């Protein structure tokens, strides 16, 4: 009985009279409303997810702080060590040079260490035509000698006659029967004949020397001997830097053989761009890095050469460079292992201030001719125009636009603009 009543309570109401059964309207309940609004709720949730995904997120950035401190501007360039005074030993004469037994790095003593010996070049052999000509020259000088001998005999005979006349004039003069003029004439004639004899003797000596020279051209003397070897010794004390000609060979005067110097007396040579060399002066502080040790070496600029030269860079660009020479100061023991032509990196200080406002150089960028940076304020990047001064490549002097303690963005990406939400990298 109870079941029947519940069934009747839940049964649909009867349709009104005159209507079809299928026109009956179903009653609206809660389950039907949920099914009706469920697609709208899904769409709304999907739109919320898309909006959340498209909503701009903060850009992850790194920051630096503007602070006051010292700043030193340096010019950096690759350099190399070199011996201050180097000597190239060359062949003094032409001949056959003996093999050099010394090696690069051996110690040498000035005036004592024998570097090499040179055997003078032997006389060249004469071809048949040259020999006939040389023999004819010898015959000519022999005939000239005979002529000079005859001339000398004639001069001596004339001298005897002049001396006889002079003696007779002197004997007659004692008796007072000859004038002073005749006496002077006889004395002068004898003196002239004596001078002619001496001249003939000298002419004969000249002919003898010429004859000896002509006969020497026909001979081929032996050059090998103790007295014929030329010894080449070291001009200074130090070490051999380079052996340019080691093997035995024939050399001509001026052929470079060895290079000698003192590796303990080093200087630093750097090829600086001319626009940077203008700001460098003798006495400027120098830091020598990348030399093989942990701590940089200290040095001073000694000379800035007045003449530049053109050098092609690795990119094929012509550059005007100037050689800057520096001396090391208080060289440590490990640095004494440096030798000639060792590579180093030179940093020359051209400007210094002890108290300036500085920021990392990576926080600055240019827009046209103006320098700008992004300052972190309230979680957003604010573009700020600034005035810059000196820079050493890592830190830059700020003249206007920032204050000490301002936090700036380092290397901001292209997605950052004025007002962009940013977040510091953890």
Indicate the domain borders of the chain.
61-72+355-424, 73-81+263-352, 89-118+227-259, 128-218
Nearest to 296 by CA among 84, 72, 69: 72
Are the beta carbons of 268 and 160 closer than 8 angstroms?
no
Quote the Cα angle for 396-399-400, to 5°.
120
The predicted pLDDT at position 14 comes to 52
Quick one: pLDDT at residue 9? 41
Q: What is the pLDDT of residue 32?
A: 66
CATH fold of 89-118+227-259, please?
A: OB fold (Dihydrolipoamide Acetyltransferase, E2P) (2.40.50)
For the chain, list residues with pLDDT below 70. 1-34, 53-56, 122-124, 173-177, 220-227
CATH superfamily name and code, 73-81+263-352: Efflux pump adaptor protein, beta barrel domain (2.40.30.170)
Between the two ends of the chain, the Cα-to-Cα distance in Å is: 76
Residue 17: predicted pLDDT: 52
- How confident is the model at residue 419, as a pLDDT? 86
pLDDT number for residue 11: 44
**pLDDT at res. 249:** 92
Helix H segments across 108-266? 128-173, 180-218
Class of domain 61-72+355-424: mainly beta
Encode pLDDT of 55-71 as tens digits: 667 888 899 999 999 99
CA distance 328 to 264: 11
The pLDDT, as a whole number, for residue 31 is 67
β-pairing verdict for 266-273 and 318-329 = antiparallel
Residues 302, 280: Cα–Cα separation, whole Å = 10
Specify the pLDDT at position 421: 86
CA 293 to chain CA centroid, nearest Å: 21
Contact partners, residue 393, CB within 8 Å, separation at least 6: 76, 361
């Amino acid at each position: 009985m109870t079941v029947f009543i519940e069934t009747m309570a839940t049964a649909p109401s009867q349709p009104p009279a005159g209507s079809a059964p299928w026109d009956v309207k179903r009653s609206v309940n809660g389950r039907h409303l949920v099914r009706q609004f469920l697609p709208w709720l899904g769409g709304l949730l999907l739109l919320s997810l898309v909006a959340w995904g498209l909503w701009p997120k903060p850009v992850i950035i790194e920051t630096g702080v503007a602070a006051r401190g010292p700043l030193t501007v340096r010019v950096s360039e690759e350099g190399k060590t070199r011996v201050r005074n180097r000597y190239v030993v060359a062949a003094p004469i032409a001949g056959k040079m003996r093999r050099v037994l010394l090696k690069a790095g051996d110690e040498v003593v000035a005036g004592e260490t024998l570097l090499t010996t040179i055997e003078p070049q032997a006389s060249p052999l004469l071809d048949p035509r040259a020999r006939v000509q040389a023999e004819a020259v010898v015959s000519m000088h022999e005939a000239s000698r005979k002529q000079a001998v005859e001339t000398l005999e004639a001069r001596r005979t004339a001298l005897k006659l002049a001396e006889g006349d002079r003696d007779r004039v002197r004997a007659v003069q004692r008796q007072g029967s000859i004038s002073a003029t005749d006496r002077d004439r006889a004395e002068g004639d004898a003196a002239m004949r004596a001078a002619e004899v001496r001249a003939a003797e000298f002419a004969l000596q000249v002919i003898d020397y010429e004859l000896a020279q002509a006969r020497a051209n026909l001979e081929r003397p032996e050059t090998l001997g103790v007295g014929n070897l030329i010894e080449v010794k070291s001009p200074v004390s130090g070490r051999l830097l380079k052996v340019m000609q080691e093997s035995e060979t024939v050399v001509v005067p001026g052929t470079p053989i060895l290079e000698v110097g003192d590796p303990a007396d080093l200087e630093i040579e750097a090829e600086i761009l001319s626009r940077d060399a203008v700001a460098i002066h003798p006495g400027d502080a120098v830091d020598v890095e990348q030399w093989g040790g942990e701590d940089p070496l200290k040095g001073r600029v000694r000379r800035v050469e007045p003449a530049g030269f053109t050098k092609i860079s690795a990119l094929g660009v012509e550059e005007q460079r100037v050689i800057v020479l520096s001396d090391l100061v208080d060289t440590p023991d490990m640095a004494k292992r440096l030798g000639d032509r060792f590579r180093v990196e030179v940093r020359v200080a051209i400007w210094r201030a002890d108290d300036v406002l500085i920021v990392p150089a990576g926080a600055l960028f240019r827009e046209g001719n103006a320098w700008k940076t992004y300052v972190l304020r309230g979680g957003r990047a604010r573009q700020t125009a600034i005035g810059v001064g000196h820079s050493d490549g890592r830190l830059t002097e700020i003249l206007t636009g920032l204050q000490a303690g301002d936090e700036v963005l380092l290397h901001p990406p292209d997605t950052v603009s004025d007002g962009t939400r940013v977040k510091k990298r953890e």
